[in-house]
Amino acid sequence: MSGLPRSSHALVTGGGRGIGRAIAAELARAGATVTVLGRQRATLDEVVGAGQAHFAEIADVADRAAIGAAIAKAAARQPIDILVANAGIAESAPFAKSDAVLFQRMMDVNFMGVVHSIQAALPSMKDRPYGRIIAIASTAGLKGYAYVSAYSAAKHAVIGLVRSLALELAHTGITVNAVCPGFTDTDLVAGSIETIMKKTGRSREQAIAELSKHNPQGRLVSPQEVADTVLWLCGGGAGAITGQAIAVAGGEI
């Protein structure tokens, strides 16, 4: 049983593919009205056409004005009860080759994108009896990984934001959580696998094994596992878990 209130409206950023699409589909199956938000209209329309979401809005989460306008439009259609700040990007480079532009890009999308999304959705959410804010962070936000210092720094910032905001909103009906998957079987990680193969000469299986060893499960996480955790936080499990960082499928809380 999902425990979702009747007629909930969920907005999922980066909802066109991978983890975001799986989350949108799971929330739609649970009975929520789902709006997916992203940069590519065709991709989002495909999600809606497949019945995995009901509406789509176009915006870049790094653009404060654009994300504000898109979320306002979605909220005008139906007040938002659930915000899943999922949109993100990942790039790897040795620290010595990670210039200020790379650090800024990681922060603009992975951290400020979360900030912009929450700031746009929160005012009207405060007026409702139920609210769920969930940031899709990463185990890189709980510990460091080599060659992704900029990405890891941004995800650590997301965890700090979640913990602080959860305390600030503790007197309301809104819970704030971060779901922290390890390496997940998505297009984004597929790019990392290709990079490992190209730079090291390893096979695909060896590259996958290299990433998988960092996950508590010893394998890649599936997008569905992330979606299941989000649904749990949106339903009955969320009341007792406020401001925590959850590692998906058997990791630490």
Q: Could you give the residue numbers annotated as active site? A: 151
Q: Going edge to edge, which strands form the sheet with 9-13?
A: 55-58, 33-38, 9-13, 82-85, 131-136, 174-180, 245-247
Instruction: Catalogue the E-assigned strands of the chain.
Output: 9-13, 33-38, 55-58, 82-85, 131-136, 174-180, 245-247
* CB-CB contact of 221 with 215 (8 Å): yes
Q: For residues 182 and 220, what is the distance between their CA atoms, to the nearest angstrom?
A: 7
Amino acid found at 9: H
Amino acid found at 247: A
Structure tokens at 236: 């009955």
